[in-house]
Amino acid sequence: MIFLKTEDEIELLRQSNQLVGRTLAEVAKHIKPGVTTLELDRVAEEFIRDHGAIPTFKGYPNHEGKPFPGTLCTSINDVVVHGIPGKDVLKDGDIVSVDCGVLLNGFCGDSAYTFAIGQVDPEVLELLTATKEALYLGIENAIQGKRLGDIGYSIQDHCEKQSYGVVREFVGHGIGRNMHEDPQVPNYGRRGTGTLLKRGLCIAIEPMITLGKRQVTMDNDGWTVRTRDRKQAAHFEHTVAINSGKADILSTFDFIEEVLEKR
């Protein structure tokens, strides 16, 4: 069941997603070599709760009903998504995807950003650039009258032309009162196929792109997804609302990038 949102509901979604952007910016202030992912998680949870919201990831069940223990997903290097915050210490040369979700005023926010820690290999920085570019190409195709396949095709085409892998097993999603709603939003596809995009549809677009092969494995914890070849992966995510013209990006990287530029 796909729920189209009213203008008022979209504004509530915007508030939730803006809080996610500000939370990720707060995390960005603390990201550096020597910090643990659990420390970042505590920063995020405190910031979210101080702003009257609830972390939506914490306690969220996986396919086996096992609750996620953190506020953030912190996915380092070969971890694609759903890395569990813990004692892992960030090192110079690492990359880490930080995915965050909140529930505020009955509506969910969801966004992710991949950070470079210290001096990162240029080949890996190029992967981050390509993944972020792919996100915005997907958003360019998220307009009324197009189809989900147009979003997926634009992401897949951009990344595969550069010999990157496009993860198939995990995809974007609809979002609203629930963090995961219909439809699923793959990062691959054929133009002109899939669900018709209508005004008021709100979706999270989130390319998960690998430096090597696209195949992934899951750790025994039931959450942590890694590249099978153990090469790095990048992940960027925005929540958007479909319009007749350009998509309305409800989340933001502006706060994050203001912090990074000051470094």
Among 160, 205, 202, residue whose Cα is nearest residue 185 = 205
- Nearest-10 Cα torsion for 134, 135, 136, 138: 80
Distance of alpha carbon 61 from alpha carbon 67, whole angstroms: 4
Query: Which pLDDT belongs to residue 68?
Result: 98
What is the tally of helices (H) and strands (E) in the chain?
Answer: 5, 15
Instruction: Give the pLDDT mean for 30-39.
Output: 98
Region 80-105: what's the mean pLDDT?
A: 98
- Quote the longest CA-to-CA distance of the chain: 48
The CA distance from 140 to 42, in Å, is: 35
Residue type, 257: E
Mean pLDDT of the chain, nearest integer:
98
Helix (H) or strand (E) holding 50: helix 37-50
- Residue 128 vs residues 97, 164, 177, 211: alpha-carbon distances, Å: 10, 11, 30, 10
- pLDDT tens for 211-229 read 999 999 999 999 999 999 9
Closest among 110, 80, 250, 113 to 175, alpha carbons compared: 110
Q: Among candidates 20, 38, 193, 13, which has minimal Cα distance to 102?
A: 20
Distances (CA, A) of 133 to 128, 154, 235: 9, 10, 11
Tokens of 164: 């990157």
Query: Is 103 in contact with 53 (CB distance < 8 Å)?
Result: yes
pLDDT, one tens digit per residue, over 124-140 is 999 999 999 999 999 99
- Dist. CA 57–CA 69, nearest whole Å: 8
pLDDT value of position 263? 85
pTM: 0.98
The DSSP call for residue 169 is: S
CB-based contact 13:247 (threshold 8 Å): no
CA distances from 65 to 21, 108, 181, 217 (A): 28, 21, 18, 19
Residue 258 has pLDDT above 90, yes or no: yes
The pLDDT of residue 244: 87
Position 51 pLDDT exceeds 90: yes
Q: Kindly list the structural domains of the chain, giving each domain's residue range(s) and its CATH number in brackets, ordered by start.
A: 7-261 (3.90.230.10)
pLDDT greater than 90 at residue 181 = yes
